[in-house]
Structure 1
Amino acid sequence: MNLAECMRRVPDIARFPSVDALHTELDALASAHPHLVRVRRIGTSRLGEPLRVLTIGDGPADAVVIGGPHPNEPVGGLTVGVLAGMLCRDDALRAELGFRWHLIPCVDPDGARLNEGWFDRPGNRRAYSEHFYRPDPAEQVEWTFPLSGEDYWFDRTLPETAALMRLMDEVEPSLVCSLHNGEHHGVFFYVNRDDPELARRLGELPGLAGLPLHHGEPELPGSRLIAPAVYATQDGARVGAMLGAGAGSADYAARFGALHIVPEVPLWADQRVADRSATGTGYRQLVARGAAARREALDMLDTALATVADTLTVRTPFERSVRASLRTFRTVTEHREALAGEDRSATVAEEFDHRQALHLLRLRLLGTFLRMLDAEIAAGSATVAVRTQRRVLGETFDRWVGEAEADTPGPATEIRRPVAVQLGAILLAATRAADGSQNASRIPEGRSMGSSAGSPATSTAATSV
């Protein structure tokens, strides 16, 4: 299999499809290939949407591919569509891979619909922030698998997560791919096996698509590098306790001994995130400065929320998201500072990544906050406090958008590029899962992923909670 050629077959894509458009496309594929494709319902979302899986092929092993595990991350739905079409049209590829594929285009349709306002303007940072929605970690499909232990317990599994669990219980997969994307960062991966060859080859994929590898901060505090920009999957009990949520899909996949990968791709790309040259700024100074800026933003939004909290009458997912995000970003900031370690020179990539972490926090939180206030105004129940905060925070939002756009003035990434990286990662992982990855070792459950403090491999996280 020629991975580069497969990646080049990803077409130009102008926009992200709506939930309805995703299902229409996959229904058309199933109609065109009735002897190859089966579409079935595996569950129901919290708001009554059908959760559907597309099954292709009849190989001896099973692979599960999860699109949209976070609702603001639509790249994976496109990747599922491209992969499904390729498997239907290429008999030789399907036979070579030897899997029965179970493809879920959108596992959180309720949340995805709340992001559709920016899907037709994928490069517009203002539109993205104005229509952004990401739920409380305890309401995220990716992070609500059950956890039980002496110190921490989570059993509030979502219907969508339960549907994934039933599917995995049924097919006992050898491979699980959870498809994620972020904002301004390079490409990076999580893998649940210490497989140096797989990690090396994953690290080559971004270059084939013209995207930079991520050499900024690890997304999750304490992440351990297997190879550049390829991290060992962290134990879900640790991450769940930090986020106030459950385990991840990797933890459930481990029940079946499955290879689990997460390709994280950007919506915007900037070569500074791959620049490992020194800046002359001390790393601990960079971390402290970044933490102070994030706390300033969080304090301002905490104060604004306190001003309007008692007058809100419309209970929305935006309010739950704002409250949870304020709490979670503070927790992550504390972890970030605790892992700063010994001082050294910060890199260009790390400095760039810390600035992006601030832009991410401010625009995600404030964009969602404004949606919360707009819902109150639309209901006709807005108090003077709500209207005042809407005006003041709207001006702040305009300023913060301007600062973010000035810091990263380049064009948005062509959508086909992150799709191609995710496609390449799935196909590469399939070849490793099929051959048993004999030189790899599974990362045991409960293992600490931290290593020596202060090294770039274990520095702090610009996590997107």
Structure 2
Amino acid sequence: MQALPRPDHIDLAPWGARHNFPSPGEVDRELARIAEAHPGCQVEQLGLSQGGRPVGMLTIPGGLRHVLVVAGMHPNEPAGHLTVLALARLLARTSNWTSAIGCTWHLVGCIDPDGAALNEPWTSRPLDLDRYHRHFYRTPIAAQPEWTFPAQGSDGSLPKTTILRELLTTVRPEVYIDLHSSDFGGAVFVVNRPLAPLSTALREAAARYRIPLSHEGIDTVGWAKDGPAVHVMPPVEELVMAAPGQNRFAHGASSLRHLPSDAIGVIPEVPLWPARTLLTPYTGNPDGTGYANLMRHAAATLAERARLLDGHLQHMRPHLPGRAAMFTDAAAETLRAATRCAKLWHSMSDGPVTRGQYAAADDSAVSFPIRAAGLLLRAAAPGPSRPAGPKAKHAALTEAFEDWVKDLEATTPAPYPLHAVIGLQTMTALQAAAIGT
């Protein structure tokens, strides 16, 4: 195992000092500068997004084994943009993580620059909960490169999915890191197969950067674990889902399931903010269970807010121009996910509920409605071709959004230091590369 870089080896300038994130264009320009300054490094354009934006990659040579790191799968998760730059700077100036362990690194700054552009009003400025949710955008599942690999109901023909699929096929990485970030709480890792040394190293890396582990995740309920906070991606047939009551595609195969069976695939989900302070204190049993009533209350809150926002959505849609559909479609999917989560949490409350499960339910009761409300406000924002719509409904939606954000601000600590968030993602890639050799 190579000596691990210290936290002060992670170069985040200038974004670390400002506590914001680079845009895909800034990432590409910085990667080009690194390639120019270091002979042997190469930048190439992999293709264009649906909106005509370039998707680029920096390759840093070092051996026959290949490591692929991809950022920007979800456009509201920009930490990976900065992690790619931190990795590029670190790898370009030291051979410890290239030739010494026989690895060539391939770094993709953002696979979905179109979605990232819609989040730039908040990613380009210091982290702020109101600004984050007011300018929030997350691509619907059927348009996400992470979840649209060929599977039942999906042919993987989206430009960004095609780029990623061809990249995985041509590079054939022995190690693949799919960078993600989350809103609140602790770190969660998803792997393509159990590998005890890696799982242990991931937990140790989280401790090194003082980011706690999250033992439960909204997206990984019921998945197998390789120890605390490390979840194993289920087989493709368990991931593919049809939309309720419809035949159309709703959730497809993950990029982690497109890897060779002996490759290592890791998704690090690293939070931007620490866990919120729950208004209702934990008062469970000595064994850590006994939170069923609290989970049931969180499920009811989530269901009630989802119904309220769905009413706003149905009332607003006829009054909005076609271009607002990108926001209303994303809001509708968020509300469907909220309703599914509310049913899941309520059904789980019939059994023993742990602290972590209740905290996950409480997070969803808070975050899903604020996300959906922010998307609806973006859809209804006045503009040259976008009427404000019925004023009373718009005012009621604005009031609900602002009230929920105030409650969120009152219970959320200051963001994690960026060097910790980016350091943990960077360390995930380095540890996986070292163990994969």
After TM superposition, is the score higher than 0.5? yes
The correspondence for 1:372, drawn from 373, 379, 383, is: 379
Partner of 2:145: 141
Q: Map Cα deviations across residues 236-257 of structure 1 (whole Å, 9 max, x no partner).
A: 443331671221111112x463
Partner of 1:99: 103
Partner of 2:246: none
Partner of 1:262: 267
Pairing 1:298-337 to 2, within 5 Å after superposition:
298-316=306-324, 317-337=326-346
The correspondence for 1:431, drawn from 414, 426, 434, is: 434
User: What's the CA shift for 1:287?
Assistant: 2.8
Pairing 1:110-259 to 2, within 5 Å after superposition:
110-148=114-152, 153-241=153-241, 244-253=250-259, 255=260, 257-259=262-264
Inter-partner Cα distance in structure 2 for 1:3 and 1:272: 37
User: What's the CA shift for 1:155?
Assistant: 1.9
Cα 1:351–1:334 change in 2 (3 A) is closer
Q: Map Cα deviations across residues 218-245 of structure 1 (whole Å, 9 max, x no partner).
A: 5322122211111111234433316712
Cα 1:156–1:339 change in 2 (3 A) is farther
Inter-partner Cα distance in structure 2 for 1:218 and 1:197: 25
The answer to whether the aligner puts 1:382 opposite 2:391 as a matched pair is: no
User: In structure 1, what residue type is equivalent to 2:431?
Assistant: L
User: What's the CA shift for 1:383?
Assistant: 6.3
Unaligned runs of 5+ in 2: 244-249
Partner of 2:419: 416
User: In structure 1, what residue type is equivalent to 2:175?
Assistant: L
SS at match of 2:25: helix
Cα 1:343–1:351 change in 2 (3 A) is closer
User: In structure 1, what residue type is equivalent to 2:213?
Assistant: L
Partner of 1:10: 10
User: What's the CA shift for 1:107?
Assistant: 0.5
The answer to whether the aligner puts 1:343 opposite 2:352 as a matched pair is: yes
CA contact (8 A) 2:98 2:105 kept: no
The answer to whether the aligner puts 1:78 opposite 2:78 as a matched pair is: no
Q: Which runs of 4+ in 1 moved over 6 A?
A: none
Inter-partner Cα distance in structure 2 for 1:210 and 1:121: 24
Unaligned runs of 5+ in 1: 435-465
CA contact (8 A) 2:334 2:371 kept: no
Inter-partner Cα distance in structure 2 for 1:187 and 1:341: 27
Q: Map Cα deviations across residues 414-464 of structure 1 (whole Å, 9 max, x no partner).
A: 111111001111111112221xxxxxxxxxxxxxxxxxxxxxxxxxxxxxx
CA contact (8 A) 1:203 1:227 kept: no
User: In structure 1, what residue type is equivalent to 2:251?
Assistant: A
CA contact (8 A) 1:84 1:103 kept: yes
User: What's the CA shift for 1:384?
Assistant: 4.5
Inter-partner Cα distance in structure 1 for 2:204 and 2:268: 13
CA contact (8 A) 2:77 2:180 kept: yes
Partner of 1:449: none
Query: Structure 1 stretch 172-181 or stretch 316-325: which is displaced more?
Result: 316-325
CA contact (8 A) 1:223 1:231 kept: yes
User: What's the CA shift for 1:2?
Assistant: 5.1
User: In structure 2, what residue type is equivalent to 1:22?
Assistant: V
Q: Map Cα deviations across residues 109-157 of structure 1 (whole Å, 9 max, x no partner).
A: 0000100111133431001011110011111111111114xxxx32253
CA contact (8 A) 1:69 1:142 kept: yes
User: What's the CA shift for 1:185?
Assistant: 1.6
Inter-partner Cα distance in structure 1 for 2:35 and 2:216: 41
SS at match of 1:412: coil
User: In structure 2, what residue type is equivalent to 1:290?
Assistant: A
Q: How many residues align?
A: 420
Pairing 1:290-305 to 2, within 5 Å after superposition:
290-305=298-313
The correspondence for 1:49, drawn from 49, 53, 56, is: 53
CA contact (8 A) 2:320 2:389 kept: no
User: What's the CA shift for 1:217?
Assistant: 4.2
Cα 1:4–1:431 change in 2 (3 A) is closer
Cα 1:242–1:286 change in 2 (3 A) is farther
CA contact (8 A) 2:79 2:181 kept: yes
The correspondence for 1:19, drawn from 14, 19, 24, is: 24
Query: Structure 1 stretch 70-79 or stretch 2-11: which is displaced more?
Result: 2-11
Pairing 1:353-372 to 2, within 5 Å after superposition:
353-372=360-379
Cα 1:335–1:235 change in 2 (3 A) is farther
User: In structure 1, what residue type is equivalent to 2:400?
Assistant: T
Identity %: 30
SS at match of 1:263: strand
Cα 1:140–1:412 change in 2 (3 A) is same
CA contact (8 A) 1:4 1:208 kept: no
Partner of 1:283: 291
User: In structure 2, what residue type is equivalent to 1:87?
Assistant: L
User: What's the CA shift for 1:190?
Assistant: 0.7
User: What's the CA shift for 1:277?
Assistant: 7.9
Inter-partner Cα distance in structure 2 for 1:93 and 1:158: 33
User: What's the CA shift for 1:205?
Assistant: 0.9
SS at match of 1:165: helix
CA contact (8 A) 1:67 1:179 kept: yes
CA contact (8 A) 2:173 2:263 kept: yes
Q: Map Cα deviations across residues 395-426 of structure 1 (whole Å, 9 max, x no partner).
A: 11110001111122x21111111110011111
Q: Map Cα deviations across residues 345-373 of structure 1 (whole Å, 9 max, x no partner).
A: x32x4444332222211211111110001
